[in-house]
Structure 1
Amino acid sequence: MSKVELRTSTEVKAQCDQNVSLQCDIMSPSPLKIILFSWVRKGKQLCVVNATGVFSFPGVRCDNTNNTLTLNLTRVMPSSQGNYTCKLRSNLTITAANTTVTMQECLRTSEHKVFQNESQVECQLFGVYPEGTVHWFLGSENITESASTKSQLDEEGLFDIRSTLPTQAGTEPYNCSLWIPSSGTYSSHKQLHYSRGLSSGTKTRSRLLLFFILVGLIIII
Protein backbone atom coordinates (compact mmCIF):
# COMPACT_ATOMS: atom_id res chain seq x y z
CA MET A 1 0.00 0.00 0.00
CA SER A 2 1.56 3.25 -1.15
CA LYS A 3 -1.01 5.72 0.17
CA VAL A 4 -3.47 6.23 3.00
CA GLU A 5 -6.98 4.92 2.27
CA LEU A 6 -10.30 4.65 4.07
CA ARG A 7 -12.14 1.35 3.88
CA THR A 8 -15.93 1.29 4.25
CA SER A 9 -18.85 -0.79 2.97
CA THR A 10 -20.20 0.65 -0.26
CA GLU A 11 -23.80 -0.16 0.69
CA VAL A 12 -25.52 -1.26 3.89
CA LYS A 13 -29.07 -2.65 3.73
CA ALA A 14 -31.07 -2.02 6.87
CA GLN A 15 -34.36 -3.22 8.33
CA CYS A 16 -36.86 -0.95 10.04
CA ASP A 17 -36.37 -0.41 13.78
CA GLN A 18 -33.02 -2.26 13.71
CA ASN A 19 -29.62 -0.91 14.77
CA VAL A 20 -26.96 -0.46 12.09
CA SER A 21 -23.21 0.06 12.44
CA LEU A 22 -21.12 1.83 9.79
CA GLN A 23 -17.41 1.09 10.09
CA CYS A 24 -14.58 3.15 8.64
CA ASP A 25 -11.01 1.80 8.77
CA ILE A 26 -7.84 3.79 8.16
CA MET A 27 -5.45 1.79 5.97
CA SER A 28 -1.99 3.33 6.13
CA PRO A 29 1.47 2.02 5.14
CA SER A 30 3.04 3.97 7.98
CA PRO A 31 1.99 5.50 11.31
CA LEU A 32 0.05 8.72 11.01
CA LYS A 33 -1.25 11.48 13.23
CA ILE A 34 -5.02 11.99 13.13
CA ILE A 35 -6.04 15.63 13.07
CA LEU A 36 -9.73 15.01 12.33
CA PHE A 37 -11.58 11.73 11.78
CA SER A 38 -15.35 11.92 11.32
CA TRP A 39 -18.63 10.60 9.96
CA VAL A 40 -20.73 13.19 8.14
CA ARG A 41 -24.21 13.19 6.60
CA LYS A 42 -25.71 16.06 4.61
CA GLY A 43 -22.97 18.37 5.86
CA LYS A 44 -23.68 17.53 9.51
CA GLN A 45 -21.01 15.88 11.65
CA LEU A 46 -22.30 12.79 13.47
CA CYS A 47 -19.04 11.45 14.90
CA VAL A 48 -15.84 13.40 15.46
CA VAL A 49 -12.40 12.28 16.59
CA ASN A 50 -9.81 14.98 17.21
CA ALA A 51 -6.96 15.75 19.59
CA THR A 52 -9.33 16.15 22.54
CA GLY A 53 -11.33 12.93 22.17
CA VAL A 54 -14.36 11.27 20.56
CA PHE A 55 -17.65 13.13 20.24
CA SER A 56 -21.05 11.63 19.43
CA PHE A 57 -23.93 13.83 18.40
CA PRO A 58 -27.59 13.27 19.47
CA GLY A 59 -29.24 10.16 18.08
CA VAL A 60 -26.04 8.20 17.38
CA ARG A 61 -23.22 6.46 19.23
CA CYS A 62 -19.59 6.50 18.09
CA ASP A 63 -16.71 4.14 18.87
CA ASN A 64 -13.06 4.72 17.97
CA THR A 65 -10.52 1.91 18.34
CA ASN A 66 -7.25 1.23 16.52
CA ASN A 67 -7.82 3.66 13.64
CA THR A 68 -11.41 2.47 13.18
CA LEU A 69 -14.36 4.83 13.63
CA THR A 70 -17.76 3.16 13.96
CA LEU A 71 -21.02 5.07 13.63
CA ASN A 72 -23.90 3.27 15.37
CA LEU A 73 -27.39 4.20 14.19
CA THR A 74 -30.32 3.19 16.39
CA ARG A 75 -33.79 2.22 15.13
CA VAL A 76 -33.15 3.14 11.52
CA MET A 77 -36.06 4.35 9.41
CA PRO A 78 -36.48 5.35 5.74
CA SER A 79 -35.58 8.87 6.86
CA SER A 80 -32.14 7.43 7.77
CA GLN A 81 -31.45 6.42 4.16
CA GLY A 82 -28.79 8.11 2.10
CA ASN A 83 -25.06 8.74 1.87
CA TYR A 84 -22.79 8.79 4.89
CA THR A 85 -19.24 10.07 4.41
CA CYS A 86 -16.21 9.06 6.44
CA LYS A 87 -13.58 11.82 6.40
CA LEU A 88 -9.95 11.83 7.49
CA ARG A 89 -7.49 14.68 7.88
CA SER A 90 -4.04 13.58 9.00
CA ASN A 91 -0.43 14.66 8.81
CA LEU A 92 -0.08 12.50 5.68
CA THR A 93 -3.24 13.16 3.66
CA ILE A 94 -6.85 14.29 3.43
CA THR A 95 -9.27 11.64 2.13
CA ALA A 96 -12.87 10.46 2.30
CA ALA A 97 -15.07 7.41 1.56
CA ASN A 98 -18.83 6.97 1.21
CA THR A 99 -21.35 4.43 2.47
CA THR A 100 -24.97 4.33 1.29
CA VAL A 101 -27.68 3.14 3.67
CA THR A 102 -30.78 1.68 1.98
CA MET A 103 -33.96 0.30 3.55
CA GLN A 104 -35.59 -3.05 3.00
CA GLU A 105 -39.37 -3.47 3.03
CA CYS A 106 -41.14 -2.51 6.25
CA LEU A 107 -44.53 -3.36 7.74
CA ARG A 108 -44.94 -2.66 11.43
CA THR A 109 -48.55 -3.68 12.07
CA SER A 110 -51.80 -4.36 10.25
CA GLU A 111 -55.45 -4.39 11.29
CA HIS A 112 -58.38 -5.97 9.48
CA LYS A 113 -62.03 -5.79 10.43
CA VAL A 114 -65.62 -6.17 9.31
CA PHE A 115 -67.85 -3.28 10.32
CA GLN A 116 -70.77 -4.11 12.61
CA ASN A 117 -73.35 -2.88 10.13
CA GLU A 118 -71.84 -5.29 7.58
CA SER A 119 -71.73 -2.54 4.96
CA GLN A 120 -67.98 -2.66 4.40
CA VAL A 121 -64.70 -4.34 5.26
CA GLU A 122 -61.47 -2.50 6.05
CA CYS A 123 -57.71 -3.06 6.01
CA GLN A 124 -55.30 -0.76 7.83
CA LEU A 125 -51.53 -1.12 7.51
CA PHE A 126 -49.09 0.91 9.58
CA GLY A 127 -45.39 1.56 9.06
CA VAL A 128 -45.21 0.52 5.41
CA TYR A 129 -42.11 1.09 3.27
CA PRO A 130 -41.74 1.54 0.35
CA GLU A 131 -45.13 3.03 -0.44
CA GLY A 132 -47.73 0.44 -1.36
CA THR A 133 -51.41 0.06 -2.06
CA VAL A 134 -54.11 -2.44 -1.15
CA HIS A 135 -55.52 -4.96 -3.61
CA TRP A 136 -58.82 -6.63 -2.79
CA PHE A 137 -59.97 -10.05 -3.98
CA LEU A 138 -63.27 -11.87 -3.56
CA GLY A 139 -62.38 -15.45 -4.23
CA SER A 140 -60.21 -15.22 -7.35
CA GLU A 141 -61.84 -12.00 -8.62
CA ASN A 142 -59.90 -8.73 -8.28
CA ILE A 143 -62.40 -6.13 -7.00
CA THR A 144 -59.89 -3.39 -6.11
CA GLU A 145 -61.68 -0.81 -8.28
CA SER A 146 -64.56 -0.78 -5.80
CA ALA A 147 -62.29 0.12 -2.87
CA SER A 148 -61.32 3.48 -1.41
CA THR A 149 -57.64 3.65 -0.35
CA LYS A 150 -55.75 6.48 1.35
CA SER A 151 -52.02 6.69 2.18
CA GLN A 152 -50.30 9.07 4.60
CA LEU A 153 -46.55 9.67 5.05
CA ASP A 154 -45.22 10.09 8.60
CA GLU A 155 -42.12 11.93 9.82
CA GLU A 156 -40.02 8.75 9.83
CA GLY A 157 -40.63 8.14 6.13
CA LEU A 158 -43.15 5.33 6.67
CA PHE A 159 -46.63 5.12 5.18
CA ASP A 160 -49.94 4.40 6.93
CA ILE A 161 -52.51 2.93 4.53
CA ARG A 162 -56.26 2.56 5.04
CA SER A 163 -58.51 0.82 2.53
CA THR A 164 -62.27 0.24 2.77
CA LEU A 165 -64.46 -1.86 0.50
CA PRO A 166 -68.28 -2.08 0.25
CA THR A 167 -69.39 -5.64 0.89
CA GLN A 168 -71.38 -7.85 -1.43
CA ALA A 169 -73.84 -10.65 -0.68
CA GLY A 170 -72.12 -13.99 -0.41
CA THR A 171 -69.97 -16.15 1.80
CA GLU A 172 -66.59 -16.16 0.03
CA PRO A 173 -63.75 -14.63 2.09
CA TYR A 174 -62.33 -11.25 1.15
CA ASN A 175 -58.57 -11.11 0.65
CA CYS A 176 -56.75 -7.90 1.54
CA SER A 177 -53.22 -7.81 0.06
CA LEU A 178 -50.49 -5.17 0.31
CA TRP A 179 -49.01 -4.54 -3.14
CA ILE A 180 -45.55 -2.89 -3.43
CA PRO A 181 -45.30 -1.41 -6.96
CA SER A 182 -41.54 -0.73 -6.78
CA SER A 183 -40.77 -4.43 -6.27
CA GLY A 184 -43.79 -5.84 -8.10
CA THR A 185 -44.64 -8.13 -5.19
CA TYR A 186 -47.22 -8.65 -2.45
CA SER A 187 -45.80 -8.36 1.06
CA SER A 188 -48.89 -9.06 3.18
CA HIS A 189 -52.08 -11.08 2.80
CA LYS A 190 -55.12 -11.35 5.04
CA GLN A 191 -58.41 -13.16 4.59
CA LEU A 192 -61.52 -11.58 6.09
CA HIS A 193 -64.16 -14.24 6.57
CA TYR A 194 -67.54 -12.68 6.15
CA SER A 195 -71.04 -13.82 5.33
CA ARG A 196 -73.69 -11.39 4.18
CA GLY A 197 -77.21 -12.63 3.70
CA LEU A 198 -80.30 -10.69 2.73
CA SER A 199 -80.41 -7.01 3.60
CA SER A 200 -82.94 -5.81 6.19
CA GLY A 201 -85.03 -4.23 3.42
CA THR A 202 -85.10 -7.47 1.49
CA LYS A 203 -86.05 -9.38 4.65
CA THR A 204 -88.93 -6.96 5.35
CA ARG A 205 -90.28 -7.32 1.82
CA SER A 206 -90.07 -11.10 2.12
CA ARG A 207 -92.02 -11.05 5.39
CA LEU A 208 -94.75 -8.84 3.86
CA LEU A 209 -95.03 -11.12 0.85
CA LEU A 210 -95.38 -14.15 3.13
CA PHE A 211 -98.04 -12.31 5.18
CA PHE A 212 -100.17 -11.51 2.13
CA ILE A 213 -99.87 -15.09 0.88
CA LEU A 214 -101.12 -16.39 4.24
CA VAL A 215 -104.00 -13.87 4.27
CA GLY A 216 -104.98 -14.96 0.76
CA LEU A 217 -104.99 -18.60 1.80
CA ILE A 218 -107.21 -17.83 4.81
CA ILE A 219 -109.72 -15.95 2.63
CA ILE A 220 -109.85 -18.81 0.14
CA ILE A 221 -110.43 -21.31 2.92
Structure 2
Amino acid sequence: MIRALKFSPASRMHHGFAWVSIFCFTSVVNAAVSQSMQLQIRPQVTARCGENVTLMCNFSSLKQMDVQLIKLSLLADNKTEKCEYKNDQADGNVRCESTDKDSYQTLAMILTNIMPVSEGKYLCKVATNVGVLYNHTYVKVQDCSGSSDSFRNASHAVCSFSGIHPSGVVHWFWEDNNITNATITQQDRGQHGLYNILSTIREEEDKLNYPYKCLLWIPSLNKYLSSQEVTSSVSQKVKSSESQEGNSSETAVKLHWICIVVEILMLNFRM
Protein backbone atom coordinates (compact mmCIF):
# COMPACT_ATOMS: atom_id res chain seq x y z
CA MET A 1 0.00 0.00 0.00
CA ILE A 2 1.33 3.36 -1.07
CA ARG A 3 0.91 6.26 1.25
CA ALA A 4 0.71 9.85 -0.02
CA LEU A 5 3.39 12.07 1.41
CA LYS A 6 2.12 14.94 3.45
CA PHE A 7 4.03 18.10 4.22
CA SER A 8 3.45 20.14 7.29
CA PRO A 9 2.75 23.89 6.88
CA ALA A 10 6.24 24.66 8.13
CA SER A 11 7.79 22.29 5.56
CA ARG A 12 5.79 23.82 2.70
CA MET A 13 6.88 27.29 3.77
CA HIS A 14 10.51 26.15 3.81
CA HIS A 15 10.28 24.75 0.25
CA GLY A 16 8.54 27.90 -1.00
CA PHE A 17 11.28 30.07 0.52
CA ALA A 18 13.92 27.92 -1.20
CA TRP A 19 12.31 28.38 -4.65
CA VAL A 20 12.01 32.13 -4.16
CA SER A 21 15.67 32.29 -3.14
CA ILE A 22 16.76 30.37 -6.25
CA PHE A 23 14.67 32.66 -8.50
CA CYS A 24 16.07 35.82 -6.93
CA PHE A 25 19.64 34.53 -7.16
CA THR A 26 19.18 33.65 -10.85
CA SER A 27 17.68 37.07 -11.58
CA VAL A 28 20.58 38.84 -9.89
CA VAL A 29 23.14 36.77 -11.82
CA ASN A 30 21.37 37.44 -15.16
CA ALA A 31 21.18 41.15 -14.41
CA ALA A 32 24.88 41.25 -13.54
CA VAL A 33 25.78 39.41 -16.74
CA SER A 34 23.62 41.68 -18.92
CA GLN A 35 25.12 44.78 -17.32
CA SER A 36 28.64 43.54 -18.00
CA MET A 37 27.89 43.12 -21.75
CA GLN A 38 26.57 45.65 -24.26
CA LEU A 39 25.43 45.17 -27.85
CA GLN A 40 24.85 48.33 -29.88
CA ILE A 41 23.42 48.81 -33.36
CA ARG A 42 21.50 51.66 -35.02
CA PRO A 43 17.75 50.97 -34.76
CA GLN A 44 17.02 52.14 -38.33
CA VAL A 45 18.99 52.96 -41.47
CA THR A 46 17.42 54.74 -44.47
CA ALA A 47 19.20 54.71 -47.83
CA ARG A 48 18.58 55.74 -51.42
CA CYS A 49 18.71 53.30 -54.30
CA GLY A 50 22.28 52.56 -55.39
CA GLU A 51 23.97 53.86 -52.24
CA ASN A 52 26.47 51.91 -50.13
CA VAL A 53 25.23 51.14 -46.61
CA THR A 54 27.28 49.98 -43.61
CA LEU A 55 25.60 48.17 -40.70
CA MET A 56 27.68 48.05 -37.52
CA CYS A 57 27.22 45.43 -34.79
CA ASN A 58 29.27 46.65 -31.78
CA PHE A 59 29.85 44.36 -28.75
CA SER A 60 31.67 45.39 -25.58
CA SER A 61 32.15 43.82 -22.14
CA LEU A 62 33.47 45.00 -18.79
CA LYS A 63 35.22 41.68 -18.22
CA GLN A 64 37.25 39.49 -20.51
CA MET A 65 34.89 36.99 -22.14
CA ASP A 66 35.11 34.23 -24.67
CA VAL A 67 33.18 35.53 -27.70
CA GLN A 68 31.94 32.43 -29.49
CA LEU A 69 29.76 34.04 -32.15
CA ILE A 70 28.80 37.41 -33.59
CA LYS A 71 26.35 37.16 -36.47
CA LEU A 72 24.47 39.79 -38.48
CA SER A 73 21.82 38.61 -40.94
CA LEU A 74 18.65 39.65 -42.76
CA LEU A 75 15.55 38.04 -41.25
CA ALA A 76 13.77 36.91 -44.41
CA ASP A 77 13.28 33.68 -46.32
CA ASN A 78 15.74 32.84 -49.10
CA LYS A 79 18.01 35.79 -48.27
CA THR A 80 21.79 35.51 -48.38
CA GLU A 81 22.73 38.77 -46.64
CA LYS A 82 24.69 37.58 -43.61
CA CYS A 83 28.06 38.11 -41.91
CA GLU A 84 29.90 36.27 -39.15
CA TYR A 85 32.67 37.52 -36.87
CA LYS A 86 36.22 36.75 -38.05
CA ASN A 87 34.92 35.40 -41.33
CA ASP A 88 35.63 38.42 -43.53
CA GLN A 89 34.44 37.85 -47.06
CA ALA A 90 32.71 39.39 -50.06
CA ASP A 91 29.72 37.79 -51.73
CA GLY A 92 27.94 39.71 -54.45
CA ASN A 93 26.90 43.07 -53.05
CA VAL A 94 27.69 42.05 -49.42
CA ARG A 95 31.09 42.54 -47.78
CA CYS A 96 31.93 41.54 -44.19
CA GLU A 97 34.63 43.09 -41.97
CA SER A 98 35.60 42.29 -38.35
CA THR A 99 37.69 44.22 -35.81
CA ASP A 100 38.88 43.18 -32.35
CA LYS A 101 40.39 45.65 -29.89
CA ASP A 102 40.71 44.81 -26.18
CA SER A 103 37.17 44.24 -24.90
CA TYR A 104 35.49 45.65 -28.05
CA GLN A 105 34.46 43.52 -31.02
CA THR A 106 32.84 44.94 -34.15
CA LEU A 107 31.17 43.21 -37.07
CA ALA A 108 30.41 45.35 -40.14
CA MET A 109 28.19 44.45 -43.08
CA ILE A 110 28.70 46.66 -46.14
CA LEU A 111 25.83 46.55 -48.65
CA THR A 112 27.03 47.99 -51.98
CA ASN A 113 24.63 49.43 -54.57
CA ILE A 114 21.72 48.68 -52.27
CA MET A 115 18.36 47.77 -53.79
CA PRO A 116 14.89 47.23 -52.27
CA VAL A 117 15.47 43.46 -52.25
CA SER A 118 17.90 44.05 -49.34
CA GLU A 119 15.31 45.99 -47.34
CA GLY A 120 14.10 44.54 -44.04
CA LYS A 121 15.00 43.64 -40.45
CA TYR A 122 18.58 42.63 -39.67
CA LEU A 123 19.34 40.72 -36.46
CA CYS A 124 22.66 40.92 -34.61
CA LYS A 125 23.38 37.99 -32.29
CA VAL A 126 26.32 37.66 -29.88
CA ALA A 127 27.07 34.43 -27.99
CA THR A 128 29.69 34.31 -25.22
CA ASN A 129 30.67 31.83 -22.53
CA VAL A 130 28.38 33.66 -20.06
CA GLY A 131 25.31 34.51 -22.14
CA VAL A 132 23.64 35.52 -25.41
CA LEU A 133 22.57 39.01 -26.57
CA TYR A 134 20.29 40.09 -29.41
CA ASN A 135 19.64 43.43 -31.09
CA HIS A 136 18.26 44.48 -34.45
CA THR A 137 18.13 47.25 -37.06
CA TYR A 138 15.68 47.97 -39.87
CA VAL A 139 16.96 48.95 -43.31
CA LYS A 140 14.66 51.03 -45.51
CA VAL A 141 15.35 51.80 -49.19
CA GLN A 142 13.66 54.72 -50.95
CA ASP A 143 13.89 57.24 -53.82
CA CYS A 144 14.28 54.74 -56.65
CA SER A 145 13.05 56.98 -59.48
CA GLY A 146 13.99 54.70 -62.39
CA SER A 147 12.98 55.79 -65.90
CA SER A 148 9.77 56.70 -67.74
CA ASP A 149 8.44 56.53 -71.28
CA SER A 150 5.20 57.16 -73.20
CA PHE A 151 3.54 56.23 -76.46
CA ARG A 152 0.40 57.37 -78.25
CA ASN A 153 -1.45 56.44 -81.44
CA ALA A 154 -4.96 56.72 -82.80
CA SER A 155 -6.37 53.98 -80.52
CA HIS A 156 -4.67 54.41 -77.15
CA ALA A 157 -2.04 56.21 -75.06
CA VAL A 158 0.49 54.51 -72.79
CA CYS A 159 2.64 55.67 -69.86
CA SER A 160 5.32 53.44 -68.37
CA PHE A 161 7.60 53.76 -65.33
CA SER A 162 10.44 51.28 -64.82
CA GLY A 163 12.70 50.62 -61.82
CA ILE A 164 10.44 52.30 -59.26
CA HIS A 165 10.39 51.92 -55.47
CA PRO A 166 8.25 52.23 -53.41
CA SER A 167 5.23 51.10 -55.39
CA GLY A 168 3.12 53.83 -56.99
CA VAL A 169 -0.13 54.73 -58.75
CA VAL A 170 -0.41 56.45 -62.15
CA HIS A 171 -2.72 59.49 -62.30
CA TRP A 172 -3.93 60.73 -65.70
CA PHE A 173 -5.09 64.25 -66.59
CA TRP A 174 -6.59 65.77 -69.73
CA GLU A 175 -6.52 69.56 -69.45
CA ASP A 176 -7.71 70.05 -65.83
CA ASN A 177 -9.77 66.86 -65.66
CA ASN A 178 -8.67 63.79 -63.72
CA ILE A 179 -9.41 60.82 -66.00
CA THR A 180 -7.59 58.12 -63.99
CA ASN A 181 -10.78 56.04 -63.61
CA ALA A 182 -10.79 55.42 -67.36
CA THR A 183 -7.33 53.82 -67.35
CA ILE A 184 -5.99 50.29 -66.95
CA THR A 185 -2.77 49.91 -64.92
CA GLN A 186 -0.55 46.85 -64.43
CA GLN A 187 2.57 46.46 -62.34
CA ASP A 188 5.10 43.76 -61.50
CA ARG A 189 8.10 43.51 -59.20
CA GLY A 190 11.49 42.53 -60.59
CA GLN A 191 14.29 40.50 -59.02
CA HIS A 192 15.89 43.54 -57.36
CA GLY A 193 12.62 44.54 -55.72
CA LEU A 194 11.97 47.35 -58.21
CA TYR A 195 8.51 47.92 -59.69
CA ASN A 196 7.60 48.28 -63.38
CA ILE A 197 4.29 50.06 -63.99
CA LEU A 198 2.35 50.24 -67.27
CA SER A 199 -0.79 52.38 -67.59
CA THR A 200 -3.05 52.61 -70.68
CA ILE A 201 -6.01 54.75 -71.70
CA ARG A 202 -8.23 54.41 -74.78
CA GLU A 203 -8.28 57.37 -77.16
CA GLU A 204 -11.42 59.43 -77.68
CA GLU A 205 -12.08 61.52 -80.77
CA ASP A 206 -12.55 64.80 -78.91
CA LYS A 207 -9.15 64.42 -77.19
CA LEU A 208 -6.98 63.48 -80.16
CA ASN A 209 -5.64 67.01 -80.68
CA TYR A 210 -4.71 67.60 -77.03
CA PRO A 211 -1.91 66.20 -74.85
CA TYR A 212 -2.40 64.00 -71.80
CA LYS A 213 -0.36 64.24 -68.63
CA CYS A 214 0.45 61.17 -66.52
CA LEU A 215 2.03 61.41 -63.06
CA LEU A 216 3.42 58.73 -60.77
CA TRP A 217 2.00 59.09 -57.26
CA ILE A 218 3.78 57.34 -54.36
CA PRO A 219 1.23 56.83 -51.53
CA SER A 220 3.83 55.88 -48.89
CA LEU A 221 5.75 59.12 -49.53
CA ASN A 222 2.62 61.22 -50.14
CA LYS A 223 4.12 62.88 -53.22
CA TYR A 224 4.52 62.64 -56.99
CA LEU A 225 7.81 61.05 -58.02
CA SER A 226 7.69 61.59 -61.80
CA SER A 227 5.51 63.09 -64.53
CA GLN A 228 5.40 63.17 -68.32
CA GLU A 229 3.34 64.70 -71.10
CA VAL A 230 1.90 62.39 -73.73
CA THR A 231 1.74 64.47 -76.91
CA SER A 232 -1.12 64.15 -79.36
CA SER A 233 -0.35 61.87 -82.29
CA VAL A 234 -2.14 64.30 -84.63
CA SER A 235 -0.07 67.28 -83.50
CA GLN A 236 3.08 65.17 -83.88
CA LYS A 237 2.15 64.46 -87.52
CA VAL A 238 1.46 68.16 -88.15
CA LYS A 239 4.81 69.13 -86.64
CA SER A 240 6.57 66.44 -88.66
CA SER A 241 4.87 67.64 -91.86
CA GLU A 242 5.69 71.28 -91.11
CA SER A 243 9.28 70.30 -90.41
CA GLN A 244 9.54 68.43 -93.73
CA GLU A 245 7.97 71.34 -95.63
CA GLY A 246 10.34 73.76 -93.93
CA ASN A 247 13.33 71.63 -94.84
CA SER A 248 12.15 71.34 -98.46
CA SER A 249 11.69 75.10 -98.92
CA GLU A 250 15.03 75.73 -97.26
CA THR A 251 16.71 73.32 -99.66
CA ALA A 252 15.03 74.96 -102.66
CA VAL A 253 16.31 78.41 -101.63
CA LYS A 254 19.84 77.06 -101.23
CA LEU A 255 19.73 75.45 -104.70
CA HIS A 256 18.42 78.70 -106.22
CA TRP A 257 21.35 80.70 -104.83
CA ILE A 258 23.84 78.06 -105.92
CA CYS A 259 22.53 78.32 -109.49
CA ILE A 260 22.85 82.13 -109.46
CA VAL A 261 26.46 81.94 -108.21
CA VAL A 262 27.36 79.39 -110.91
CA GLU A 263 25.87 81.61 -113.66
CA ILE A 264 27.87 84.64 -112.46
CA LEU A 265 31.10 82.61 -112.45
CA MET A 266 30.41 81.37 -116.00
CA LEU A 267 29.83 84.92 -117.30
CA ASN A 268 33.09 86.16 -115.75
CA PHE A 269 34.95 83.23 -117.29
CA ARG A 270 33.62 84.05 -120.81
CA MET A 271 34.61 87.68 -120.51
TM range (shorter): 0.7 to 0.9
- Asked whether 1:178 is paired with 2:216, we answer yes
Q: Aligned with 1:17: secondary structure?
A: coil
Provide the rounded CA distance (Å) in 1 between the counterparts of 2:87 and 2:227. Answer: 47
Percentage identity across paired residues of the two chains: 32
Provide the rounded CA distance (Å) in 2 between the counterparts of 1:184 and 1:41. Answer: 28
Provide the rounded CA distance (Å) in 2 between the counterparts of 1:192 and 1:159. Answer: 21
Aligned partner (choices 56, 61, 65) of residue 95 of structure 2:
61
Provide the rounded CA distance (Å) in 2 between the counterparts of 1:12 and 1:150. Answer: 31
Partner of 1:158: 194
Partner of 2:113: 75
Task: Point out the structure with the larger helix share.
Answer: 2
State the one-letter code of the partner of 1:84: Y
Residue 140 of structure 1: CA displacement? 1.1
Partner of 2:226: 188
Q: Relative to structure 1, is the Cα distance of residues 45 and 74 closer, same or farther in structure 2, using a 3 angstrom cutoff?
A: closer
What are the Cα deviations for residues 51-83 of structure 1, in whole angstroms up to 9, with x where unaligned? xx4243733110112311101112322221211
Partner of 2:123: 85
Task: Point out the structure with the larger strand share.
Answer: 1
Provide the rounded CA distance (Å) in 2 between the counterparts of 1:152 and 1:71. Answer: 30
- Asked whether 1:30 is paired with 2:63, we answer yes
What are the Cα deviations for residues 159-201 of structure 1, in whole angstroms up to 9, with x where unaligned? 211112223445443111012233332211112232647xxxx
Aligned partner (choices 139, 143, 151) of residue 113 of structure 1:
151
Is the Cα contact below 8 Å between 1:138 and 1:175 reproduced in 2? yes
Is the Cα contact below 8 Å between 2:49 and 2:141 reproduced in 1? yes
Q: Aligned with 1:106: secondary structure?
A: coil
Partner of 2:260: none
Partner of 2:75: 42
Provide the rounded CA distance (Å) in 1 between the counterparts of 2:211 and 2:137. Answer: 46
State the one-letter code of the partner of 1:174: Y
Partner of 1:204: none
Query: Unaligned stretches of 5+ in structure 2?
Result: 1-33, 236-271
Provide the rounded CA distance (Å) in 2 between the counterparts of 1:179 and 1:151. Answer: 14
Query: Unaligned stretches of 5+ in structure 1?
Result: 198-221
Provide the rounded CA distance (Å) in 1 between the counterparts of 2:50 and 2:182. Answer: 34
Q: Aligned with 2:157: secondary structure?
A: strand
Aligned partner (choices 42, 49, 52) of residue 16 of structure 1:
49
Residue 38 of structure 1: CA displacement? 1.4
What are the Cα deviations for residues 16-71 of structure 1, in whole angstroms up to 9, with x where unaligned? 2322110111132234332211112338771112xxx4243733110112311101
Is the Cα contact below 8 Å between 2:213 and 2:227 reproduced in 1? yes
State the one-letter code of the partner of 1:112: S
Provide the rounded CA distance (Å) in 2 between the counterparts of 1:179 and 1:85. Answer: 33
Is the Cα contact below 8 Å between 2:88 and 2:98 reproduced in 1? no
Show the 5 A alignment for 1:197-212: none
User: Number of aligned pairs?
Assistant: 192
Partner of 1:147: 183
CA RMSD of aligned residues (A): 2.4
Partner of 1:100: 138
Is the Cα contact below 8 Å between 2:41 and 2:56 reproduced in 1? yes
The structure number with the bigger radius of gyration is 2
Structure with more contact order per residue of length (Cα contacts < 8 Å, sep ≥ 6): 1
- Could you tell me the TM-score, scaled by structure 1's length? 0.76
